[in-house]
Amino acid sequence: MKRKQMKRILLAAAGAALLTGCGAIPGSQKKSEDAQEQIPVIYEDEDFSDEFPDDSESMDGDSMENGAPESAVGAWLPPQAERVYSERNSSIVIGSTIIDHFNLPEEEWEENRYYYNYVNLDDDDDEEIFALLVGPAFSGSGGFTGLWMEPSDNMAIVQEFTLVNNPIFVTDDANGQGRGLIMERSGGGAGTELVLLTFDGKNYCSVSDAEPIEDVSDIEGTAILCDDLAEDMLSGDFMTLAD
């Protein structure tokens, strides 16, 4: 599939997300109980030349440059939170792990993108990877799909998440276990709210089971995956599973 066709599909996904919120639908045969409706298909003969100018500037992976407007992504984050954008180097190992885990057919690789950051989740001496999967195979009416991956164990997948919305605020306080994960929860007819995913020593609770959190103003931590997904779609600055 050509990159412009990919953008057309992703624009449809973004439009659906704005209208209904986004929810994760994994591409595997196993369907999560949290999964929501698939993103509607867009007709490929529609003209989106105005939405995708060929001379669009791409966003830097670490910061917003060239006078670009500040993104509203993560407006709820406390001012002291460190903001980190995703890695901008494609990874064959990460990509192939995602493809194998969800048994994703090759014709769908280019229409699904992924983002990832290195982060210490379980408060040990090693960094793990948190990946965010975006596209028709992974997006629905409440968020996207997330994966906790373990590089030291041949990129083994420790946990799969649905209903994930970026950014993800990783707290500094691990309470002797894993660090808390704070993110927005939406969809299902309910309003948007912040929730805290807690760690039980082995796994995090699901997004749907996470408890709402009212005030994050005094919480210290790092916000990962701070990318503006809509801006990336317009600029073409993203990685797909075909890269």
Least confident span in 5-14, 46-55, 130-139: 46-55
Looking at residue 126, what is its pLDDT?
Answer: 87
Percent of the chain with pLDDT over 90: 59
pLDDT band at 123 (very low <50, low <70, confident <90, very high): confident
The arithmetic mean of pLDDT across residues 140-149, rounded, is 94
**pLDDT higher than threshold 90 for residue 129:** yes
State the CB neighbour count (10 A cutoff) for residue 50: 6
Looking at residue 70, what is its pLDDT?
Answer: 52
**pLDDT higher than threshold 60 for residue 242:** yes
Helix-strand-coil percent breakdown of the chain, rounded to 5?
15, 25, 60
Q: How far apart are CA 24 and CA 115, in angstroms?
A: 15
Q: CA dist 127 to 42, 151, 155, 207, Å?
A: 39, 8, 12, 22
The arithmetic mean of pLDDT across residues 22-30, rounded, is 37
Which phi and psi angles does 96 have, rounded to 5°? -70, -35
Q: Are 132 and 116 in contact (CB under 8 A)?
A: yes
The arithmetic mean of pLDDT across residues 100-107, rounded, is 98
Mean pLDDT over all residues of the chain? 78
Global pTM value: 0.71
- Most trustworthy range by pLDDT among 5-19, 26-40, 213-227: 213-227
Helix or strand (DSSP H, E) at 233: helix 229-235
- The DSSP 8-state label assigned to residue 95 in this structure reads H
The arithmetic mean of pLDDT across residues 44-62, rounded, is 40
- The DSSP 8-state label assigned to residue 155 in this structure reads T
